[in-house]
Amino acid sequence: MDRYAVIGNPIAHSKSPLIHRLFAEQTGQALSYEALLAPLDDFAGTLRGFLVAGRGVNVTVPFKEQAWALADAHTAAAERAGAVNTIAVQGDGTLLGDNTDGRGLARDLRFNSGVQLRGSRILLLGAGGASRGVIQPLLAARPDQLCIVNRTVEKAEQLAMMFNDLGPVSAAGLHWVEESVDLIINATSASLGGEVPAISPKLIRRGHTVCYDMMYASEPTPFNRWAAAHGAARCIDGLGMLVEQAAEAFELWRGVRPDTAPVLAALRQS
């Protein structure tokens, strides 16, 4: 039986083992999937130790950039993102690094949530690794505008310059923008600390703007509670993104794409 795992720190909360078990049952694939806690100072050792017998891994915070450095080759998505969340062992034993986060976000927005990306005005909060991994797929959907907003403006500007060959991307500080947009995506980790990025509520056009938090929890995230209080048309969490990016990884490993709808429904129900 082929072995797979997700590696992170912390990792006990991860839903990935359940997601991939449901994918395997649905597609008739014989595999095992586990969660591995890596020491903060020895991700490489944990990865190499597992891949002695394992066929692939998912990588979560805070190891995605280290995973990029350890991969022997990268997909175009991983190369652009500078981060890897999926590693597949190739036939010759080399490690292929991919980044499925952006594709997972785009699919969740378009197919699970029915959000129109083409021709839209999008605000992306944060200029860290989470943002970097999703910019390419967002621009591929051909929005009218994608503005990266960050407390440190220089970081947002650097990201915008890295991707400006792919579409209309710009940068701004948290307090620079007040004109309403169609979609706000929170790619910061503020919700983990019970906080909300310091942006203007004027960015939300009441009854129209959709707000999306990449984080998820059993209760609405702080960002989504803030958005709802200021009249957002819809508030969506990142659980669908988690399932969709996992499906992308599963397809890379197994050559078959699972149906994500029943798996997402099962997670919502639980």
Pair 113, 92 in one domain: no
Pair 140, 23 in one domain: no
Quote the pLDDT of residue 190.
Answer: 84
pLDDT in tens, 12-25: 989 999 999 999 99
Domain count, the chain: 2
Judge whether 132 lies within some domain: yes
Pair 234, 113 in one domain: yes
Judge whether 264 lies within some domain: no
- In the residue annotation, 64 being an active-site residue is answered as yes
Sheet holding 169-173, edge to edge: 169-173, 145-150, 121-125, 183-186, 210-213, 234-236
pTM for the model stands at 0.94
Range of the domain at 122: 102-239
Pair 148, 75 in one domain: no
pLDDT in tens, 67-117: 999 999 999 999 999 999 999 999 999 999 999 999 999 999 999 999 999
Pair 208, 146 in one domain: yes
Residue among 264, 214, 183 nearest 60 (CA): 214
Note whether 81 and 136 are within 8 A (CB): yes
Instruction: Report the CATH number that the domain containing residue 222 is assigned in CATH.
Output: 3.40.50.720
- Residue of 15, 64, 155, 202 marked active site: 64
pLDDT in tens, 182-236: 999 999 988 878 889 999 999 999 999 999 999 998 899 999 999 999 999 999 9
